[in-house]
Structure 1
Amino acid sequence: MNQFNFEKLEVYQKSLDFSDLVYAITKTFPKEELYGLTSQFRRAAVSISLNIAEGSGGSKKEFARYLNLASNSLKECIVCVTISKRQGFITSEQEIKLRFSLTEISKMLAGLRKYLNQ
């Protein structure tokens, strides 16, 4: 099977894992949140991977810009995690797992941006 270059990036793979986790967790959210928090959380999570992929084909400067967009989506996810916990939609263990994953991805995005800006 052919593979695109961005698919080889560990940060891209971790972002897909995070999206899988968000989809699994949000399946248990109340039905009335389907078009609210559930949708927003899923879109923000998916946006991290999409921005990594979309920016990978351009120049280093353009790729760094898309990595910034991915980082902004990551910050949206942090807020979604916080709201989910405050509303009682996720457990403390789920919150820890989600935040750990986001911290890891954030560090990887920052490292890749730093590399591109050299």
Structure 2
Amino acid sequence: MTDFRELKEWEKAHELTVAVYKTTQAFPEEELLGLTQQIRLACSAIPIKIAQGCNREDKEDQVNFLVLARDAAIEVEYYLLLCYELDMLDSSDYDRLVSRTVEVKELLESFIDKLSHNF
């Protein structure tokens, strides 16, 4: 078992989650139970699933959790686009957060490939 805090994938996902939480503080109050909550939940699912996968002994189980984390990153990408198109994010915040999300997604895809070849 690996301590999830030692993984670059988890660290980048955690940093993304903190950035999303900080950025969404400026979202309209009426979206608190809407898009704000949805994007925060999707984003926080990424490091959560990575951490859960690290707790698994079986490599196939680890990969399954990483796939869930990657899928959550794809969900975040969509929410960011939706928030941008609804003028809840300016272009600089959108570009910054999407770039971080894509980086996390690519790290996860690489990690999934690496682990998948080991079973």
Per the alignment, residue 46 of structure 2 pairs with 48
Per the alignment, residue 63 of structure 1 pairs with 62
Runs of 5+ consecutive residues of structure 2 not aligned to the other structure: none
Distance 1:77 1:50 in 2: 14
Quote how far apart the aligned CAs of 1:79 are: 1.0
Match of 1:90, as an amino acid? Answer: L
Distance 2:75 2:107 in 1: 17
Match of 1:26, as an amino acid? Answer: T
Per the alignment, residue 76 of structure 1 pairs with 75
TM-score by length of 1: 0.95
Specify the SS of the correspondent of 2:88: coil
Superposition RMSD on alpha carbons, in Å? 0.8
Quote how far apart the aligned CAs of 1:54 are: 0.5
Quote how far apart the aligned CAs of 1:6 are: 1.1
Runs of 5+ consecutive residues of structure 1 not aligned to the other structure: none
TM-score by length of 2: 0.94
Quote how far apart the aligned CAs of 1:57 are: 1.6
Per the alignment, residue 26 of structure 2 pairs with 28
Deviations 1:56-102 (A, max 9, x none): 12111001000010011111101110111011011101111011101
Specify the SS of the correspondent of 1:38: helix
Specify the SS of the correspondent of 2:9: helix
Distance 1:111 1:71 in 2: 11
